[in-house]
Amino acid sequence: MELRADRLSVLRGERPVLRNSSCTLPPGSRVLMLGHSGAGKTTLFKALAGLVTPSSGQVLWNGEDVARMAPTEKRARQAAFGMVFQTDALFDSLTVRQNVLLPLERRRVPREEAEARADEVLRAVGLTEAADALPERLSGGMRKRAGIARALAARPSVLLADDPFAGLDPGTARQVARVLLEVAGSGSLIVAAPDVPPELPLARWLYLRDGALLYDGPPAPEVETLTDEALA
């Protein structure tokens, strides 16, 4: 399923935080999103996921404008999306396992299968022991991994991972990278992170600066130092 941003702009108050940005993500995309703090990476993710309404431009899902979809189509599209939030957004009154089960219940995955999948992803991110704990009992890195497990359990065909390695030690980051790659399977994986463990090959880079998507191409370590003229 192809996802496309077509001249997308997002305003926060009066201020444009995403400006006229376009990109096409065919199925199986492996993308690294780069950009300084405040460049608009999270905003672009949220717009792609339909959590933020663009002030102009469109998000197209298989060629169809998401803003004009009927409710049933919208739900089907939501079900195809997984988001690892930058701040983990766990429900504090639910245990880790219940947090992971929630999106599966929403998708009406049968109970037995849902529980098997929850256990599988919790094992993959190393949280089996913490499955019955409330999030407040977890360390920052454990919460991060719980958020990742929740996004992965639904086996989304597009997985947006916003800063998934922040606060993880190198070993855990590598483990999470392997899990992301494995679960993405034939679907798309878009990762916003300042750097990525070598386990996760992302051969396409997107670079945002001040809300504008300035680069879309193969890995180019010099991209963050280029001037606007060089990128244009």
Q: Is 147 in the site for ligand ATP (CB under 6 A)?
A: no
| Listed residue (107, 194, 175, 121) closest to 151, CA to CA | 121
**Per-residue contact flags (x/-) with Mg ion for residues 18 to 47, judged by CB under 5 A:** -----------------------xx-----
Q: Which stretch binds Mg ion (CB under 5 A): 79-87, 176-184, 197-205, 209-217?
A: 79-87
Size of the site for ligand ATP (CB under 6 A): 11
Maximum Cα interatomic distance, the chain, rounded to a whole number of Å: 56
Min CB(9)–Mg ion separation in Å: 18
Nearest to 41 by CA among 52, 56, 55, 30: 52
CA–CA separation, 49 and 101 (whole Å): 20
Site map (CB under 5 A) of Mg ion, residues 83-102, x = contact: ---x----------------
Q: How many C-beta atoms lie closer than 10 Å to residue 154's C-beta?
A: 25
Q: Which residue of 5, 25, 31, 39 would you call a contact of ligand ATP, by CB under 6 A?
A: 39
Torsion angle defined by CA atoms of residues 217, 77, 127 and 202, in that order, rounded to the nearest 10 degrees: -10
Q: Is 37 in the site for ligand ATP (CB under 6 A)?
A: yes
Tokens for 217, please give them: 């191409």
- In the list Mg ion, ligand ATP, none, the entry touching 95 (Cβ below 5 to 8 angstroms by class) is none
Site string for ligand ATP, 81-110 (x = CB under 6 A): -----x------------------------
The secondary structure of 204-229 as a DSSP string is EEEEEETTEEEEEES--GGGGG--HH
CA 152-201-129 angle, 5° bins:
35
Q: Which of 41, 77, 144, 209 binds ligand ATP (CB under 6 A)?
A: 41
Shortest CB 46 distance to Mg ion, Å: 9
Amino acid at 20: N
How many residues at the interface with Mg ion, by CB under 5 A? Answer: 3
Interface ranges with ligand ATP (CB under 6 A) = 12, 17, 35, 37-43, 86
Interface ranges with Mg ion (CB under 5 A) = 41-42, 86
